[in-house]
């Protein structure tokens, strides 16, 4: 039998639906090996401030279907300082932690790599962010729910766009990655999708877009026109783009920013299953002695990616978007 380990777990960065399912899977799987699991509150802030509780089966009962994270989350400024990193390391040592499981995104994995410079315990990452922008996994926990939430909102916007014969620019999240825009745009039958990965030259892209909208309004019987736009994909806001479209076409355009609604809600089945698979895999790989890696799922198989490679996303995101671009009608 393997040595009983003291495993710390935290959720960090933008919360994502399914994080609770991952906490549950990690905890139950670890308990099955008689390990101890300590849930740290508020991401790395909890580690630095030694704010934690030992998790038993009762703590994780009845959470698989809940959005948010029972451990809370944060973007921890102190982890950008040497003093903060050393405090976190001291906290791990003082509490005799053998292994740390970090559920989060790119920034959270950078924090984990900083800790690894000073601490020899095992570290495993689990990709949790609605953005689906992590190298080494086909999907991140939270993504499936976020696109369904965005889709539900876009469908509703379509109803009012249709009734008023308006053009709408709907901004979705995704920070530096257009996958939420691409998938929710495809699924909603949006007339246009805007994301960085599709733009070479912004001014010609916007000019072309205006002409396409104007042409469609002239030609089509049904005059609703929905444009799904990833946040930060243009130098102008969704509101400004809608204004420019109104000016160019002479037809009312409106904008809607979906915002944080995309981070909330009960996780859909896809996220619960992904979170469960990755949670179980993280403990299996701790048992196998792996360290400094993220567990992901690619082509239906569990894969390991060194944490330092998880932020190499440029090529990955572009090829995801390029693959989906083929299906635009
Ligand atoms: O990382 C997830 C995300 O929701 C991004 O889509 C968004 O840009 C960002 O977090 C918002 O971050 P914050 O919660 O710090 O405002």
Q: pLDDT tens digits, residue range 145-175?
A: 999 999 999 999 999 999 999 999 999 999 9
Tell me, what's the pLDDT at 87? 98
Strand partners, 6: 36
pLDDT band at 1 (very low <50, low <70, confident <90, very high): low
User: For this structure, is 131 an active site residue?
Assistant: yes
Is 143-263 in the same CATH topology as 6-142+267-312? yes
Region 88-92: mean pLDDT is 98
Angle (CA) 258 255 189, round 5°:
75
Q: Is 302 helix (H, G, I), strand (E, B) or coil?
A: strand
Q: Residue 115: is its pLDDT beyond 90?
A: yes
Question: Is residue 142 within 6 Å of ligand 1 at its C-beta?
Answer: no
Q: How far apart are CA 56 and CA 231, in angstroms?
A: 39
Q: Which residue's CA is minimally distant from atom 11 of ligand 1?
A: 14
- How many residues make up the chain in this entry? 329
- Enumerate long-range contacts of 279-283, CB under 8 Å, 24 or more apart: 279/21, 279/22, 279/23, 279/24, 279/25, 279/26, 279/29, 279/126, 280/25, 280/29, 282/26, 282/29, 282/101, 282/124, 282/126, 283/7, 283/26, 283/29, 283/30, 283/33, 283/35
Question: Is residue 232 within 6 Å of ligand 1 at its C-beta?
Answer: no
Domain boundaries, the chain: 6-142+267-312, 143-263
Region 220-231: mean pLDDT is 88
Region 297-308: mean pLDDT is 98
Tell me, what's the pLDDT at 326? 86
Tell me, what's the pLDDT at 94? 98
pLDDT band at 323 (very low <50, low <70, confident <90, very high): confident
Q: Say which CATH class 143-263 falls into.
A: alpha beta
Q: Say which CATH class 6-142+267-312 falls into.
A: alpha beta
Region 46-70: mean pLDDT is 98
Q: Residue 107: is its pLDDT beyond 80?
A: yes
Rounded to whole angstroms, what are the CA distances from 131 to 211, 230, 244, 298?
Answer: 30, 11, 28, 17
Q: Where are the beta strands (DSSP E) in the chain?
A: 6-11, 36-40, 52-55, 99-104, 122-127, 167-172, 192-194, 225-230, 253-257, 293-298, 301-306
Query: Smallest Cα–Cα separation from 117: which of 79, 73, 76, 77?
Result: 79
Mean pLDDT of the residues in the chain = 96
Q: Residue 97: is its pLDDT beyond 90?
A: yes
Q: How far apart are CA 94 and CA 50, in angstroms?
A: 9
Q: Residue 220: is its pLDDT beyond 70?
A: no
Q: What is the DSSP letter of 270?
A: H
pLDDT band at 129 (very low <50, low <70, confident <90, very high): very high
Structure tokens at 256: 């809607």
Q: Which residue's CA is minimally distant from atom 10 of ligand 1?
A: 14
Region 276-294: mean pLDDT is 98
Q: Which residue's CA is minimally distant from atom 1 of ligand 1?
A: 14
Tell me, what's the pLDDT at 21? 99
Question: Is residue 129 within 6 Å of ligand 1 at its C-beta?
Answer: yes
């Amino acid at each position: 039998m393997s040595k009983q380990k003291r495993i710390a777990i935290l959720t960090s960065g933008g919360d994502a639906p399914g994080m609770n399912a991952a906490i549950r899977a990690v905890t139950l799987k670890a308990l099955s090996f008689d390990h101890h699991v300590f849930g740290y509150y508020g991401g790395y802030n909890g580690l630095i401030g030694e704010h934690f509780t030992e998790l038993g089966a009762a703590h994780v009962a009845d959470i698989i279907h809940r959005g948010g994270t029972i451990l809370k989350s944060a973007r921890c400024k102190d982890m950008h300082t040497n003093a903060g990193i050393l405090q976190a390391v001291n906290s791990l040592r003082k509490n005799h932690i053998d292994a740390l499981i970090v559920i989060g995104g790119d920034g959270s994995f950078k924090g984990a790599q900083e800790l690894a410079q000073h601490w020899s315990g095992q570290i495993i990452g689990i990709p949790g962010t609605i953005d689906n922008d992590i190298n080494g996994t086909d999907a991140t926990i939270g993504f499936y729910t976020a696109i369904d939430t965005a889709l539900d909102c876009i469908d509703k916007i379509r109803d009012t766009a249709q009734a008023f014969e308006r053009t709408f620019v709907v901004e979705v999240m995704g920070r530096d990655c257009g996958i939420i825009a691409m998938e929710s745009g495809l699924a909603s039958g949006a007339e246009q999708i805007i994301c960085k990965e599709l733009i070479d030259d912004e001014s010609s892209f916007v000019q072309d877009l205006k002409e396409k909208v104007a042409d469609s309004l002239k030609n089509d019987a049904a005059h609703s026109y929905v444009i799904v736009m990833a946040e930060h994909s243009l130098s102008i806001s969704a509101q400004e783009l809608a204004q420019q479209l109104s000016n160019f076409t002479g037809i009312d355009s409106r904008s809607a920013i979906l915002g944080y609604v995309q981070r909330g809600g009960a996780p859909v089945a896809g996220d619960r299953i992904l979170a469960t698979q990755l949670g179980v895999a993280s403990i299996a790989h701790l048992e196998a002695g792996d360290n400094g890696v993220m567990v992901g799922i690619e082509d239906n198989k569990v894969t390991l990616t060194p944490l330092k490679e998880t932020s190499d996303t440029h090529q990955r995101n572009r090829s995801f978007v390029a693959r989906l671009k083929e299906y635009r009608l």
